[in-house]
């Protein structure tokens, strides 16, 4: 499986998807902005990845070790690590290694930026 | 190609995705809610469908004929009709037939409901 560098990573958390920073219903969405936003939404559009984001957010201190995330999902650690990598690459999670384990935290503003592109009000 | 009945259709526009009505970062997302939200996000996670939503919203009166949507996208009418059907089935667009053409409008609150599940603030 290959992973791609998603546009969200190279821009600020407050403006996640390049051309598509404005709500899509406020102004016509160009081809580039649509592709960028679709790529970011694809990274979210997976049940395991949505649950991982939710679990990281709910964890003490807003940070979770991969060792805390595997068992509740009922998936193998390589599978969980793959999903975490997709979320890191898409700019939704940060990853830091301390000792044996990698720890994950939400990137502030990243989910809100995507929400802002969909909100109409 | 088969289409599935997405959860958004059978619930109110203000609460689109069953168990996943709350922001995913506010409380742990269960398996059912994650699957429902992922299904709805998959319907959005396509450049052509995002542009169609944007074009319908920008159209006079917030309603557009399929005949207005095909040329700007540079896709065939059957392809555009397929993407519109996915958006109708997912609860993001309404479809009404008048004379020769089908007209599409945004379902009020549907995009905002999805945005609300992603927003952290």
Residue B75 lies in a domain: yes
A57 and A96 together in one domain: yes
Rounded distance, CA A69 to CA B80, Å?
Answer: 40
Residues 6+ positions from A8 with CB-CB distance below 8 Å: A16, A17, A36, A40, A43, A90, A91, A92, A110, A113
Residue bearing tokens 């009020």: B108
Instruction: Find the mean pLDDT for residues A96-121.
Output: 93
What predicted TM-score, i.e. pTM, was given to this entire model? 0.84
Confidence at residue B28, expressed as pLDDT on a 0 to 100 scale: 84
- Closest partner residue to A53 among B24, B49, B116, by Cβ? B24
* Domain housing B76: 46-106
Is there a contact between A34 and B51 if contact means CB atoms under 8 Å apart?
Answer: yes
B30 and B57 together in one domain: no
Please give, rounded to a whole number of angstroms, the shortest distance from the CA of A120 to a CA of chain B: 6
Tell me the backbone φ, ψ of residue A102, rounded to 5 degrees.
-100, 140
B37 and B76 together in one domain: no
B33 and B73 together in one domain: no
CATH of the domain at A94: 1.10.10.10
Mutate to test the interface with B, among A20, A34, A114 (most CBs of B within 10 A): A34
A67 and A100 together in one domain: yes
Cα torsion angle, B101, B105, B111, B113, sign: negative
Instruction: Find the mean pLDDT for residues A94-119.
Output: 94
B68 and B80 together in one domain: yes
- Tens-digit pLDDT profile for residues B25-66: 988 899 999 999 999 999 999 999 999 999 999 998 889 999
A39 and A60 together in one domain: no
B73 and B34 together in one domain: no
Is there a contact between A57 and B120 if contact means CB atoms under 8 Å apart?
Answer: yes
Q: Please determine, for residue A7, whether its predicted confidence score (pLDDT) is greater than 50.
A: no
Confidence at residue B61, expressed as pLDDT on a 0 to 100 scale: 86
Q: Please determine, for residue B75, whether its predicted confidence score (pLDDT) is greater than 70.
A: yes
Please give, rounded to a whole number of angstroms, the shortest distance from the CA of B13 to a CA of chain A: 13
Residue B24 lies in a domain: yes
- Tens-digit pLDDT profile for residues A15-72: 444 444 688 998 889 999 999 999 999 999 999 999 999 999 999 888 999 989 999 9
B52 and B17 together in one domain: no
Is there a contact between B115 and A111 if contact means CB atoms under 8 Å apart?
Answer: no
Residue A100 lies in a domain: yes
Residues A113/A15, Cβ–Cβ less than 8 Å: yes
- Closest partner residue to A27 among B42, B45, B58, by Cβ? B58
Percent composition of chain A: helix, strand, coil (DSSP 3-state, to 5): 55, 10, 30
A60 and A73 together in one domain: yes
**pLDDT confidence bin for B21, thresholds 50/70/90:** low
Q: Which DSSP letter does residue A100 get?
A: T
Q: How many domains does the structure of chain A reveal? A: 2
Residue A78 lies in a domain: yes
Is there a contact between B106 and A50 if contact means CB atoms under 8 Å apart?
Answer: no
A97 and A113 together in one domain: no
Residue A2 lies in a domain: no
- Tens-digit pLDDT profile for residues B91-103: 999 999 999 999 9
Task: Name every chain B residue with its beta carbon within 8 A of the beta carbon of A50.
Answer: 20, 24, 29, 34, 37-38, 41
Task: Name every chain A residue with its beta carbon within 8 A of the beta carbon of B118.
Answer: 44, 111-112, 114-115, 118
Confidence at residue B57, expressed as pLDDT on a 0 to 100 scale: 93
Is there a contact between A119 and B106 if contact means CB atoms under 8 Å apart?
Answer: no
Pick the more confident residue, B22 or B120: B120
């Amino acid at each position: 499986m290959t992973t791609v560098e998603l546009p969200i990573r190279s821009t600020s958390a407050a403006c996640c998807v390049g051309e598509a920073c404005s709500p899509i219903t406020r102004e016509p969405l160009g081809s580039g902005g649509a592709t960028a936003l679709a790529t970011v939404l694809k990274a979210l559009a997976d049940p395991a990845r949505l649950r991982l984001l939710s679990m990281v957010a709910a964890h003490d201190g807003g940070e979770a070790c991969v060792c805390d995330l595997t068992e509740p999902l009922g998936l193998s650690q390589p599978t969980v690590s793959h999903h975490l990598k997709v979320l890191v690459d898409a700019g939704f999670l940060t990853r830091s290694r301390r000792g044996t384990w990698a720890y994950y935290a939400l990137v502030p503003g990243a989910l809100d930026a995507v929400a802002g592109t969909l909100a109409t009000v």
